[in-house]
Amino acid sequence: MKNWMTIQQERIADDMKRRINKVLEHGQYIMGPEVKELEEKLAYYVGVEHAVSCSSGTDALMLALMAYGVGPKSTIITTPFTFIATAEVAALLGADIMFVDIDPVTFNIDPDKLEHTLEIARPEVHTGVIAVDLFGLPADYERLRSICAKYGVFIIEDGAQSFGGELLGDKTGSLTVIGCTSFFPAKPFGCYGDGGMCFTNARAAKDVMESFRVHGKGKYKYENVRVGLNARLDTLQAAILLSKLEIFHDEVEKRQEVAKTYNVLLTDSDLTLPTVPEGYKSAWAQYSVLAENEHHREKLREKLMLQDIPCPIYYPKPLHLQEAFKDLGYSKGSLPISEDYAKRIFILPMNPYITLEEQVKVSKTIERT
Ligand SMILES: *Cc1c(COP(=O)(O)O)cnc(C)c1O
């Protein structure tokens, strides 16, 4: 399979070189005009007032938690079926962490189980939820928002994988008071390094996150009103993203087509295919499938790998069973759906430029079992 990022790069090479050269000429490598331009354009794209760019998706989550004042007296509730960064930021700020199992159809945090957890825990301390839009599919924010409002807890969207996705016509990033995304190269909207962004309509949140982003600055650089981070987005990465934005809408639509094609090609396979509920649009960061069991998965992946078809496992170990979180006291069996899916899930090649022939090869390889 041809590296799709090369195809993408060829498509925008002239524009990107022009923008990169412009940065080299003006020399404002930190917080140059491209950073502001990208923030304005992406805020408009997402449909919010403000965008605060930063150095990674992890730092976007960190800034959002810091804006909510998360610290050692806080509790953060999230899904165990995600990338470590989602929960890591809460741990770094000293917060307690509670995991809630996923919905078996969407793989996102299960609103019923969240409500059950909140009902039992009756949070007396400062509590928030981080919902993850796994593989590009928005979580059920309709229900999550109303449950969080009922129990007086805040909610943050980890949209690292879902930039370009939608829920009832609203773009990811706009689905909670502060939404976060990542520009890591492998995400749907990736740069050529690390980068991330927070989105919000709340002016106060924007101001606080901009301060935290640059060492807790006050009115000027050498006035420090809080303890913060060095978490800026590089001007060069902003320039690269501005180029990629020109074709992003088209790429999101291409991913929809690729997903539809897989759905057709794999209908008769013995895999469970991803479901996109009515009213949702996935950014299709990944096309994930569930095998019948661990053995079945390994048989299929061996066949795919023999054909040089990449088929990684996201995620092989749910967070509550990670060594890093052993102090939280979870054990095997405590979050059964995440644990079961970790044994059965794997990923098929998904990008805007994959050809029908390549998809047919994938499906044929899977059929031959
Ligand atoms: C990638 C990812 C992050 C972290 O983003 P980085 O830019 O790599 O720091 C956070 N959450 C989820 C769900 C991710 O997939």
- DSSP for 104-136, please give it: TTT-SB-HHHHHHHHHHH---SEEEEEEE-GGG
Instruction: Indicate if ligand 1 lies below 6 Å from the C-beta of 162.
Output: no
pLDDT at 368: 65
What is the distance in A from the centroid of ligand 1 to the CA of 337?
22
pLDDT at 125: 84
pLDDT category of residue 369 using cuts at 50, 70 and 90: low
Mean pLDDT of the chain: 97
pLDDT at 155: 98
Express each pLDDT in 243-283 by its tens digit: 999 999 999 999 999 999 999 999 999 999 999 999 999 99
Instruction: Indicate if ligand 1 lies below 6 Å from the C-beta of 233.
Output: no
What's the whole-number mean pLDDT along residues 62-80? 97
What's the whole-number mean pLDDT along residues 47-75? 97
Residue 169, number of CB atoms within 10 A of its CB:
8
Could you give the C-alpha distances from 22 to 1, 35, 44, 157, in angstroms and in order?
34, 13, 23, 34
Helix, strand, or coil here: 65?
A: helix
Express each pLDDT in 282-303 by its tens digit: 999 999 999 999 999 999 999 9
Buried b (16+ CB within 10 A) or exposed e, 123-134: beebbbbbbbbb
pLDDT category of residue 349 using cuts at 50, 70 and 90: very high
Which of 63, 156, 158 to probe ligand 1 with, by most ligand atoms within 8 A of CB?
A: 158
Alpha carbons 319 and 80: distance in angstroms, whole number:
5
pLDDT category of residue 339 using cuts at 50, 70 and 90: very high
What is the distance in A from the centroid of ligand 1 to the CA of 130?
13
Could you tell me how far CA 170 lies from the centroid of its own chain? 16
Asked whether 286 and 186 are in contact (CB, 8 A), the reply is no
What is the distance in A from the centroid of ligand 1 to the CA of 176?
17
Buried b (16+ CB within 10 A) or exposed e, 219-258: eeeeeeeeebbebbbbbbbbbbbbbbbeebeebbebbbeb
Which atom of ligand 1 is the closest one to the Cα of 186? Answer: 1
Instruction: Indicate if ligand 1 lies below 6 Å from the C-beta of 196.
Output: yes
Instruction: Indicate if ligand 1 lies below 6 Å from the C-beta of 192.
Output: no
Does position 51 have pLDDT exceeding 80, yes or no? yes
What's the whole-number mean pLDDT along residues 222-230? 95
Residues in the chain: 369
Does position 70 have pLDDT exceeding 60, yes or no? yes
Express each pLDDT in 110-169 by its tens digit: 999 999 999 988 777 899 999 999 999 999 999 999 999 999 999 999 999 999 999 999
What's the whole-number mean pLDDT along residues 190-200? 98
What is the distance in A from the centroid of ligand 1 to the CA of 63?
14
Express each pLDDT in 304-315 by its tens digit: 999 999 999 999
Instruction: Indicate if ligand 1 lies below 6 Å from the C-beta of 248.
Output: no
